[in-house]
């Protein structure tokens, strides 16, 4: 009997893998991934540097060198920071309102076949309309430019969030609907405890698309009549043919957009930790 016990212990024992055998392979993997992520940027930077030197551009080059652009960016940081605050004061309210109303209305419509028959045909017509067509009307009708820009950002972000929320509610498996009906959940409890968690992957997809649209529309709106903002910064120096500051503003706007999208992705990964 003791022989069988010893044999079982020998079969169940697991030889630990030394940490040294794992770490050397992991570090090169992380390093190679990091190099892959920045490889495109390195190639573009080298191409930019070569093009700015060898392409004939006249006395006021449309493509300033990376060094000149970096210097212009450094000198413009106070103005760019003020423009960032002005742009975020428009972006955040518009995107937050679009998220709130888009999720609530999308989940409500997505869980009701009658509401889908009523609202989805309208959404299929109104959703694809480019929100930029509303900018002149919003500026003319609303009392201030800030309100009109918030409205345009709201329209641009609302439809992707609404449509993805409807899709998320429709994707809920029938067995969860049946279990909620058996448990006697109220409509609010059903929306909050069952539909909303199940639709979160679709909702975050719509939020990502809506946030990207929000930055595009915000920049376009600021080109029309803003006194401050990142779009206004680029337009102002383009009008005066100050191309180093204009390119610096474009790069800075791209960085702000990247950071905002990265923050949203971090929130998504934290909220959807079970999908990782």
* Integer CA distances (angstroms), 224 to 42, 46, 140, 198, 257, in order: 34, 34, 12, 41, 20
Instruction: Give the residue-averaged pLDDT of 161-188.
Output: 82
pLDDT band of residue 14 (cuts 50, 70, 90) is very low
Q: Could you tell me if 95 and 261 are in contact, meaning their C-beta atoms sit under 8 angstroms apart?
A: no
66-275 carries CATH number 1.10.3720.10: yes
Decide if pLDDT at 186 tops 50.
yes
pLDDT band of residue 57 (cuts 50, 70, 90) is low
pLDDT band of residue 59 (cuts 50, 70, 90) is low
More confident residue, 152 or 135: 152
Instruction: Give the residue-averaged pLDDT of 17-34.
Output: 54
Q: What is the mean pLDDT of the chain?
A: 80
pLDDT in tens, 226-252: 788 888 888 888 888 888 899 999 999
Q: Could you tell me if 176 and 198 are in contact, meaning their C-beta atoms sit under 8 angstroms apart?
A: yes
Instruction: Give the residue-averaged pLDDT of 94-123.
Output: 89
């Amino acid at each position: 009997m003791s022989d069988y016990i010893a044999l079982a212990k020998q079969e169940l024992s697991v030889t630990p893998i030394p940490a040294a055998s794992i770490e050397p392979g992991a570090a090169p993997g992380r390093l190679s991934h990091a190099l892959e992520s920045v490889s495109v940027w390195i190639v573009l930077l080298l191409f930019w540097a070569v093009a700015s030197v060898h392409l004939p551009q006249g006395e006021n080059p449309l493509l300033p060198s990376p060094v000149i652009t970096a210097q212009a960016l450094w000198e413009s940081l106070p103005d760019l920071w003020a423009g960032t605050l002005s742009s975020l004061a428009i972006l955040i309210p518009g995107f937050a309102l679009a998220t709130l109303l888009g999720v609530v209305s999308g989940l409500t419509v997505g869980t009701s076949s009658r509401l889908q028959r009523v609202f989805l045909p309208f959404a299929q017509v109104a959703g694809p309309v480019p929100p930029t067509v509303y900018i002149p009307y919003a500026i003319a009708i609303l009392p201030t430019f800030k309100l009109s820009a918030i409205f345009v950002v709201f329209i641009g972000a609302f439809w992707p969030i609404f449509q993805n929320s409807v899709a998320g509610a429709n994707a809920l498996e029938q067995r969860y609907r049946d279990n909620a009906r058996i448990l006697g959940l109220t409509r609010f409890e059903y929306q909050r405890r069952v539909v909303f968690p199940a639709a979160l992957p679709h909702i975050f997809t719509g939020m990502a698309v809506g946030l990207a649209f929000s930055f595009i529309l915000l920049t376009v709106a600021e080109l029309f009549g803003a006194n401050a903002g990142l779009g206004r910064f680029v337009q102002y120096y383009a009008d005066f043919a100050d191309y180093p500051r204009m390119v610096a503003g474009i790069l800075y706007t791209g960085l702000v957009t990247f950071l905002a999208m990265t923050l949203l992705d971090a929130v998504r990964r934290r909220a959807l930790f079970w999908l990782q």
